[in-house]
Structure 1
Amino acid sequence: MAQIVLHQNNTRGHASHGWLDAHHTFSFANYHNPERMHFGVLRVLNDDRIDGGMGFGTHPHDNMEIITIPLKGALAHQDSLGNSAIVKQGDIQVMSAGTGVKHSEFNANADEAVNLLQIWLFPNKKNVVPRYGQLSLDIAERHNNFQQILSPDPDDAGVWIHQDAWFSLGQFDEGFETDYQIKRKGNGMYAFVINGKVIIDGHELNTRDGLGIWDTDAINFKALTADAEVLLMDVPMEL
Structure 2
Amino acid sequence: MKTIIHRGNTRGFADHGWLQSYHTFSFAGYYNPERIHFGALRVLNDDTVKGGMGFGAHPHDNMEIVSIPLSGALEHKDNTGRHKIINQHDVQIMSAGKGIQHSEFNASKKDPVKFLQIWLFPKEKDITPRYDQKTFDPSGRVNRLQTVVAPDQSDDTLWINQDAWFSLGKFDKGQSVTYDTKRPQNGAYLFVLSGKVKIGEEMLESRDAIGVTDYDQLQIVAEDDTEFLLMDVPMLQ
2 CA distance for matches of 1:220 and 1:157?
Answer: 25
Distance change in 2, residues 1:36/1:74 (3 Å):
same
CA contact (8 A) 1:45 1:118 kept: yes
Partner of 2:93: 94
Which residue identity does 2:108 align to in structure 1?
N
Task: List alignment gaps of at least 5 residues for structure 1.
Answer: none
Equivalent positions of 1:7-46 (< 5 A) are 7-46=6-45
Q: How far did 1:21 drift? A: 0.2
Q: How does 1:27-176 map to 2 (within 5 A)?
A: 27-155=26-154, 157-176=156-175
Paired AA for residue 116 in structure 1 = F
**1:178 CA displacement:** 1.6
Q: Any idea what SS the aligned residue of 1:212 has? A: strand
Provide, for residues 179-198 of structure 1, a one-character-per-residue CA deviation record: whole Å limited to 9, x for no partner: 10111111000000000011
Is contact 1:151–1:157 with CA below 8 Å preserved after alignment?
A: no
Query: Secondary structure of the equivalent of 1:68?
Result: strand
Once the two structures are TM-superposed, the CA of residue 217 in structure 1 deviates from its matched residue by: 1.1
The amino acid of 1:186's aligned partner reads Q
Please state whether the residue corresponding to 1:148 is helix, strand or coil.
strand
1:156 and 1:108 map into 2 onto residues whose CA distance is 27
When the two chains are superposed, the root-mean-square deviation of aligned CA atoms in Å is: 0.8
Matched, 1:180 2:199: no
Q: Distance in 2 between matches of 1:151 and 1:202?
A: 29
Q: Which deviates the most, 177-186 or 65-74?
A: 177-186
C-alpha distance in structure 1 between counterparts of 2:8 and 2:125, whole Å: 33
1:92-116 Cα deviation digits (max 9, x unpaired): 0000000000000000001210000
Q: Deviations over 1:133-172 (max 9, x none)?
A: 0000111000001100000011263111110000000001
- Look up the match of 2:192: 193
Structure 1 stretches of 4+ moved >6 Å: none
Moved more, 8-17 or 200-209: 200-209
Opposite residue 162 of structure 1, the aligned amino acid is N
Match of 1:238? 236
- Partner SS state of residue 139, structure 2: helix
CA change 1:189–1:69 in 2 (3 A) is same
Identical amino acids, percent of aligned pairs: 54
Matched residue count: 237
TM-score (norm 2): 0.99
Structure 2 unaligned segments of length 5 or more: list them. Answer: none
SS in 2 for 1:141: helix
TM-score (norm 1): 0.98
Instruction: State how far apart, in whole Å, the 2-side matches of 1:164 and 1:178 are.
Output: 22
